[in-house]
Chains A and B, each alone.
Chain A
Amino acid sequence: MDLSSINPTLLLASLIVASTPILLAALGELVVERAGVLNLGVEGMMITGAICGFAIAVNTGSPFVGFIAAAMGGALLALLFGVLTQFALANQVASGLALTLFGLGLSALLGQGYQGIKPPPTNSLDIPFLSDLPILGPILFSHDLMVYLALALVAAVWFVLNRTRAGLILRAVGENHGAAHALGYKVIRIRIMAILFGGACAGLGGAYLSLVRVPQWTEGMTAGSGWIALALVVFASWKAGRILLGAWLFGGISVLQLNLQAAGVAIPVEYLSMSPYLITILVLVIMSADKSRAPGSLGRTFHASD
């Protein structure tokens, strides 16, 4: 065992990279759930974003265009979910699961021919002075643009949800869609918009995997990240700030366990791997006593005649 071989600076830097995909996807899902919709299709939207972003980036040579395409791909798939649950009033749990199945198939089909290709590199920002700072430089100021975008998005989501009228309306719709409707808000329109935002974020998260973190395209490459993002939303008790914390915790535990292994610490990998979920359950239990709880209308179908 040689713990000194773990470099905390590098550990934190790779933690930030590892947590970015789930951070993006979870932020999107947070907004969706705050609007009272439970979309379990995050995994499907992520992987669709991963291939859309990858294919477009390879064809255009621009990762930036790739990320835009990924957001659009994710949003398009989310629209399917939106139409099903908001217009056809289908059950959200079942529709979300079907979306995952569909997305996995669709992405594999789209991805044929993209295996074994290298995407154009997404460059890290080299911020003069800041990137050269000791310790803080590598941890905070030497990442690619998407990392900062994700962090900015956390702040933006927090601000919009808590400090703007639009956020208030969105939360009202999520808490009690009947009352929101009675007040004259377009419940379905607002929810569709939230669902589209959620899809776009999940798509971005997927593309971050295929364009930056891995970077390559392989079938099924999200390997459960979408489900972790769902857990993250709950862990964060539907609060944007805590999403960031949760993403670092989830990403951190997986990075840490790999680092501990490399350092020769004989750890029971399975127990460490299940710990984020157990912690989430614990947080849920503690939170149940707290005021912060799931949005009141979460997962319930809305129809104006109800």
Chain B
Amino acid sequence: MFRIEKRPQPSRLWTYLTPLVAVVITMIVGGALFAALGKNPVEAIRTIFWDPLFGEFSFYYRPQLLVKAAPLILIAIGLSLGFRAGIWNIGAEGQYIIGALTGAGVGLAFYPLEAAYIFPLMVLAGALGGWAWGMIPAVLKTRFGTNEILVSLMLVYVAEQLLAKMALGLLRNPDGRGFPGSRNLQQYSSAHNAEIIAGTGVHWGVVAALIAVIFAYILFTRHVLGFHIRLTGQSPKAARFAGVNPARLALICLGLSGALAGLAGMFEVSGPAGQINIDFNVGYGFTAIIVAFLGRLHPVGILLAGLLLALTFIGGENAESNLGLPAAAIQMFQGMLLFFLLAVDVLTHYRLRWKSAEVA
């Protein structure tokens, strides 16, 4: 039978190979699923993975890929800081919502004034809002030793209720004929996170995501904080001997990841989404957790994982409307992709050994 043995070193080869293996397995199993639903599997797989990148309308989808991937990457980078140190913020969805609320709130407070300083203020407010929401579990953890996984998760629901309250109350568009939802920031040019170069999909959130990737890369390879984070993750005891203050680290990691999630929410609400609404959040905060792990908590990996997930979202939508695949099948397909990516990851850190017979 097979036995799993830990590798002394993570395999470099498999680090690069496993994502490809997972994608191929998903294509095969997913293709079988699509065939079972009476669709041409090759066409379906091509629609999901190929068409958005190289198909007839790729000039539209490639920019959209960036729009979809940017919040995922921005949040996942923040999460990876904490995850590497063993600090588990799974409430990024809540921090994302609060960042959007504070960001949009500041912008709407100035309406209809047009001024160049409004957008920078909104960016600041978004980051601060997310930071503050992230600091709640951080402070409770350092003060009382409360489990941050659970507090941050609980705060997601609280944030969702606040969002509904704001969309129906304080931030409701006075000219919206009583419907829930704020003014559309896309129509308020001082607060609009517009594309920096039209038609490329690159808005400030995309720029921020790229900066975050570079920043995280430098942090982990060059900076003492990155060293402390890694050390704490590997051995909290050793870290303490090295003079790392675990409380300070938790405050920094949770605060930073909250701020980045808040930024992502702010860029989303002022750009692609346009308005605060009851259903504003579509799960970026949770999906980003998956992105962080798929990217192996490495900045470049996260960049690629974010793009891959964005591809399945966009390609999946195309398959829905072009081939008439039910949304459920696409959801399952994405679930499968994640399963396989997670499953084959074992090969990076462990190797399979064939054992002919157990020695008694």
Contact = CB atoms under 8 A, between A and B. Distances in A.
Interface of A: 38, 40, 80, 83-84, 87-91, 93-95, 97-99, 101-109, 112, 219, 227, 230-231, 234, 268, 270-271, 273-274, 277-278, 280-281, 284-285, 287-289, 293-294, 299, 303, 305-306
B214 interface: no
A299 B88 contact: yes
A278 B158 contact: yes
Contact of B326 (A112, A285, A288): A112
B151 to A, nearest CB: 6
B289 A101 contact: no
Contact of B345 (A90, A112, A277, A305): A90
Interface stretch (B98-106, B220-228, B329-337): B329-337
A284 B147 contact: yes
Contacts of B153: 227, 230-231
A271 B338 contact: no
A87 B342 CA distance: 11
A99 B350 CA distance: 23
Nearest to A89: B346
Contacts of A80: 339
B88 A105 contact: no
A108 B147 contact: no
Contact of B158 (A107, A219, A234, A274): A274
24 contacts: A38-B149, A87-B4, A88-B344, A89-B350, A90-B346, A93-B289, A94-B294, A94-B342, A97-B286, A102-B336, A105-B328, A105-B332, A105-B335, A108-B327, A230-B153, A231-B150, A270-B164, A280-B150, A281-B140, A284-B140, A284-B147, A284-B151, A293-B147, A299-B88
Contact of B162 (A230, A270, A285, A294): A270
Interface string B256-285: 000000000000000000000000000000
B350 A281 contact: no
Interface residues on B, range: 35 or more
Nearest to B343: A88
Contacts of B150: 231, 234, 280, 284, 294
Q: DSSP class of A's interface residues: helix, strand, loop or mixed? A: helix
A109 B332 contact: yes
Nearest to B291: A94
A235 B88 CA distance: 18
Contact of B157 (A277, A284, A287, A288): A277
Contacts of A89: 4, 346, 349-350
Given A231-B154, A294-B147, A99 B332 contact: no
A231 to B, nearest CB: 6
A280 B153 CA distance: 11
Given A105-B330, A105-B333, A219-B328, A94 B5 contact: no
Interface string B130-149: 00000000001000111101
Contact of A281 (B151, B290, B329, B330): B151
B119 interface: no
